[in-house]
Structures are given as C-alpha cells and as structure tokens.
Amino acid sequence: MRKFVTGLTMFFALFAFTVAQAQFAQDWEAATTIKHTDVDSLYAADFSGNSRTVIGGFDLDQDGKPEAIITDYSGFTVRVFEYDSGSNSFELVWTAPPDTSGLNRRPGSNPRVVITSDFDGDGKAEITFPLATTPNGWYVYEWDGVQGSDNYGTTYSSLITTEIDTCCGADPNAFRADHERVTVIDIDGDGKQEFITAIRRNAAGGLRGTLISSVDGEIEHNSGGTGFETWNVEYFIDRGNYGGGSPYQALPADLDGDGTYELVNHTWNYFNFFNIDVTGTDSYAVADPASPTRFYQVTAPDDHVSLFGGDAGDIDGDGDDEAFFPNYYTGDLFVIDYKSGDDVLAIDSSHVANVGNVGVFYASVFDVDQNGRANVFVGSSRPRVVSSVELTGTNPLEPGDYTTTVIYEGESDLIATIINSTDSLGVVTSDTTRSGAFASKVQAHWDGNPIDFDNDGQYELLVSLQGNFDSTRTITRVWADSSWDTTAYAAVVNEKSWPLIRIEFTGTGTSVQTYEAANFVTPDNYILEQNYPNPFNPETTIRYTLPLNKQISVKIYNMMGQVVRTLVDNKLQTAGDYSVVWDGRDDAGVRAASGTYIYTLEFGNFKKSQRMTLVK
C-alpha cells in the first residue's frame, strides 16, 4: 500500500495585512492575523511549511494571559506567543532550543505537532513535541513554576523514548518525528496523564501500532532528562491483526456513553479503523483477533487516509461521542457512531457513514457558536478554507441531517505567478497561476475548553495556514531561436500570506470583511540603542524602546560577565521610549575601572546587549 504523501511542499512565507477584504460567512470575522514584517526574522527561511500547527487558548504560566504555540517547520523547534488583550498583541516569549545536530534533516522530519501536558501531575505545565535527532524522541519542556515567567527551559526536562524502544530498537534513526497527531489525556481515570501515540514507522524487527505510555516520578525543569522520572509502557497493540497499514491517530472518545473512554484508531490502509476499550487502570481491551468486525476498511478498494486526523464530541446530545474524520483524498467527512449498549469493539458499516463532502484536512469538534449543538470544523483550500458542519436533524449517520456552512472561503485575489510571453511572431500571451492558503489544522477547543483569547465570551478558532507564496512573481520572456529568454523578473509582496488566522464567532448577524491585524511582537521590536557618548567619561546615556508594557531590567556587565550596575531592576514600564544615565559607578558607588563594558536590556526570556567603553 502507498504510504507516502506528495504535493505538500508548497511555497510559503509569513506575510499578512493591515486592512484587508476577506470572505467570511455571516456571524464570523477574523480577530487576528500576522503581519509579515513582525515575524520574518523568525520564519523567513521557510516558504513551504510554516505554520503546520497552531495550538492555543491555555495559560501555561498562570499569569492570566493565554498563549499560542506555533511549530517552526524549518527551524525544527516551536515558539510560544503570549496574548495581551490591552494592546491586542501576541508577543514571542519562548522558543525551544533549536536542534543543531543535523541528524533531524531526514526528509519529512520537521516538527508537525506540539502538545501541552502535566505528565507528573505537579501543576507545572509541559510543552512536548518530537524531534528526529540525537537522541531521538519526544522532547518535554517543563515550566519553571514561576508565575508569569514563560520559562520552559534552555534544555529539555524529559525525553520520552518508549516509541523509539517499540518501533526502532535496531535503528533509532528510523524514527522520523513526522506525526500529525498525538494525544495526552488521563485515559484510564487513574489521576495520571497518558501519552498516546500512533507509531507510523518502524525499523527492521520493530513494531507499529498504538502505544500508551505514562511517567512515574518527578520531571525536573531544565534537567536534560536526568531527573527522577521513568517512562513506562502501559499498553501496546500491533495494527497487524486489526486492518494493518500505517497508524495515524488514536482518538479518545466515549463512544457508548458509559463514562469511560475508548480509543478510535485510524490507519492508512483503505481508511481503516479499529477500537480499543479502556476497562480500568492500565487495562485495555481489543476485539478477538478472529472477529470479522475487529476492524473496518471504509474506502476499500481505494486506499485513503485521514492525513491530519479527526476529533470527537457529542453532536446529538445523547450522552455519547461521535468521531469525525476527513478523507484527505476526497474531502468526504466520515462519522463513527455508537449508542449505549453497543459493542464498541465491533466496527462495520452500521457504525460508519459518509456525511458529506466538506474538506480534506484536520477536524475539530466544539460548540463555538454556543447554540447547544457542536460544530465540526474542517480545513481545506479555497473556496472552502474553513467549513462548519452541524447536525440539524437527529441521526448522526444520516447525511441529510447535517448543514454545512463555509465560514471562510479564502482570498480570491491571490496570484502566485504571471508569465508574459512574446513568441517568434510577436504575439504576447499572459499566463497566471493562482495561489491560496490551505487550513492544515483548525483548533476549535483545547482539551474540551473554549478558545477565547480576548475573554469577551465569544468563542474562537485558531487556524494554521500553509501553501501561500510570499510574493507575486512576474516573469517577462521572449522566444529566442529555440528557447525562452527571460528579459525581466519582478516580485511584489503578497500582503495576504498569513500563517495564522484567529476567527471569532460574533453572532451579530453580519459578515465583517474589513479588520485590523493584531500586533505580533518579537525581540526585534525591542530596541536598545548605542549609548551616547561612546567612549565616555564620566557618564553616558542609554536609550531603549519597549513595544508594549513589560517588566524589564537594564544592567551593566564587565567582560567577565559580572553585574557592575543595575540601572533598572525588573520594573514594569509602559510601552514607549526611555533613557537612563550611567555615571560610571558600580552598585556600591565606587568608580568603575576604564575599559569595555556590556549593557543589556533584559525582558522575559530574552535580552539585547551593546558594548561601550569607559575612558579616563
């Protein structure tokens, strides 16, 4: 069976707009986009994949400001942005240490997924994502526990290697870190979160299937995995007897409404599904390997997959969950539905239905419009970049009982390339290639909680976009003897090449098509000027600019890295321009020796520095 995806290497850069005409359905509007000038310094190296995944709406450092985490597809890292409602700004507050080993440059090994957790239950949130590097595994970065610090470490806190041990013992480099979905949940109700992965790849002698792991002991912040934690396998099931193929997702859902979870397992083998029943603490069950209903290959003989995976929720209000998976090849949306008393380990056509052609990518289920019925949001490309499916009838297995609304069509005026050609007879033709982003991941909730960054009671979607060109390219060419001769080339910035849109349900009965972009603040927006005069004696002035309200410090260091003078000590200052004078004395009031000094502007987990010279 074919297990490789092509055609996703689309050119992309991080661009956005100040005021734009968009195409949103009634009651929906864009609350946030990203200005390209704000984030080019972070992401400009990648015109193809950013941003594969955006998650958000949580408050990991417990300071009352929600965060969003964006994968950096080319940088092999993730970045945390914190939202400030007063300034309508997202500020970069932490970046995972970039991997520099080079080994993770194996094809397709960019981080595509990121998750938050509290594996050891100590109240300190963690950020986890996979890297195919040295060592291979899932890297866990734990918050330091200081309110408002946004500090998740300069090295990892723990490393989950249970997947490597299961799939790739003979060759750890078979691990590609190309997961699109992963699950963190207390699946068995024992008070401890489980880490649930669908093992897609394996080395010779290794296994593929659904793996459930958990940790014993304490994960220590910034420890490099040398704490007192031990990762254990609670359960593993090989997909071989359950439809085969490459595992893509293990989705938790209470299919029969009994108050305990099942796992809906999806593999790339004719759109295959099989279920796991959670029967108790660290206890799991699957169907008899001889049962004819132990798995169901939905699209056979067509070998399809839900590439970015599905989601579950109770869309009909009957007390049990329905699971939804988009078909990457056809755009059809499939539902898996059981009722109370059904055998959840048996799956066949009586439990699965195609409810309509909606979109090809990720699905997310939540009642964002707050009308008492959960929406199923699906991403795709123009003219239906984001669609909402809602059960308006009573039967989840009946296609006619659903209503589909395209809430964001995408932009109609994006052009990737214009080629103006003059042939040998002097005839001029113009060929145009259009461009448009596709919604790779649509997040309608986080761990079952609504997304509401501005806390106005109107719920939101986070949509990660890929596939936009960074500019419109115009090529002028003429036919010269036996080939085309390019005589001119020009590129105009595409002001709508966004990596992220935050879409809000307003319920106003109108469609807002003109809106302002939010500010995205990076360290580049903090300005530390060269001191004046320099060299100096006896004093000099240091000027700096803050893009938003921030607690900052201004310090003077000697060349040994020792603090000589603290001019501003962790003080909250409002956005604006500032100046401070250093009189050449240390904190004890003693005149400093002549020589070179470093002065810094320190904010959050970042600092900027300049050199200056004191002379006598």
Q: What is the pLDDT of residues 15-61, one digit of tens each?
A: 232 233 458 888 888 887 665 545 555 555 554 456 788 899 999 99
**Whole-angstrom Cα distance, residue 299 to residue 563?**
67
Per-residue confidence band for 511, with pLDDT thresholds at 50, 70 and 90: low
Mean pLDDT on 215-228: 93
Residue 436's pLDDT band, with cuts at 50, 70 and 90, is low
Radius of gyration, alpha carbons of the chain: 27
pLDDT greater than 90 at residue 590: yes
Q: Residues 6 or more apart from 326 whose CB is under 8 A from it?
A: 306, 308, 310, 332, 333, 334, 358, 359, 360, 361, 362, 363, 378
The amino acid at 89: S
Local structure of 222: helix, strand or coil: coil
Query: Which range has highest mean pLDDT (319-323, 479-483, 499-503)?
Result: 319-323
Mean per-residue pLDDT for 430-454? 86
pLDDT in tens, 196-220: 999 999 999 999 999 999 999 999 9
Give 262's contacts (C-beta < 8 A, 6+ positions apart): 252, 253, 254, 255, 256, 275, 276, 277, 278, 344
In this prediction, residue 30 carries a pLDDT of: 80
| Predicted local confidence at residue 518, as pLDDT | 65
Q: Answer whether residue 2 shows pLDDT above 60.
A: no
Under the banding of pLDDT at 50, 70 and 90, the label for residue 7 is: very low
| Chain segment 551-560, per-residue pLDDT in tens | 999 999 999 9
Q: What integer pLDDT is reported at residue 520 of this predicted model?
A: 77
CA geometry: angle 121, 112, 406, nearest 5 deg: 105
Q: Which two tokens stand for residue 573?
A: 């200052």
Whether the CA torsion 135, 136, 142, 148 is positive or negative: it is positive
pTM: 0.85
**Cα-based angle 497, 501, 507 (whole degrees, multiple of 5):** 135
Pairwise CA distance, residues 219 & 524, whole Å: 33
Average pLDDT on 334-348 reads: 97
Q: Write down the CATH number for the domain with range 526-614.
A: 2.60.40.4070
Distance CA(364)–CA(191), nearest Å, equals: 25
- Identify the band that residue 471 occupies on the pLDDT scale cut at 50, 70 and 90: low
β-pair partners for 503: 30, 461
pLDDT band at 193 (very low <50, low <70, confident <90, very high): very high
Amino acid at 511: S
Q: What is the mean pLDDT of residues 383-408?
A: 95
| Section 294-308 average pLDDT | 98
- For 424, other C-beta atoms within 10 Å of its C-beta total 9
What's the whole-number mean pLDDT along residues 301-319?
Answer: 97
pLDDT value of position 6: 31
| Per-domain residue ranges of the chain | 261-365, 526-614
Q: Exposure of 410 by Cβ count < 10 A (0-12 exposed, 13-18 middle, 19+ buried)?
A: buried
pLDDT tens digit string along 522-543? 888 899 999 999 999 999 999 9
98: number of Cβ within 10 Å? 9
pLDDT (average), residues 478-498: 74
- Give rounded-to-5 percent helix, strand, coil for the chain: 5, 45, 50
CB distance 466 to 52 below 8 Å: yes
Mean per-residue pLDDT over the chain, rounded:
88
Peptide bond into 499 cis (omega under 30): no
The tens digit of pLDDT for each residue in 84-125 reads 888 888 888 999 987 777 655 565 567 889 999 999 999 999
> Residues 6 or more apart from 253 whose CB is under 8 A from it?
261, 262, 263, 264, 312, 321, 322, 323
**Would you state the torsion angle of the CA atoms of residues 553, 557, 563, 569, taken in this order, to the nearest 10 degrees?**
-10
Residue 14 has pLDDT above 50, yes or no: no
Instruction: List C-alpha distances in Å: 554 to 585, 596, 609.
Output: 15, 17, 10
Q: How many whole angstroms separate alpha carbon 143 and alpha carbon 60?
A: 8
- Which of residues 136 and 252 earns the better pLDDT score? 252
Burial string for 205-227 (b: 16+ CB within 10 Å, else e) reads: ebbbbbbbbbbeeebbbebebeb
Model confidence at 509: pLDDT above 90: no
Would you say residue 13 has pLDDT above 50? no
What would the mean pLDDT of 317-329 be, rounded to a whole number? 97
Q: Compute the average pLDDT of residues 456-476.
A: 81
The answer on pLDDT for 136 being more than 80 is yes
Three-state DSSP state, 399:
helix
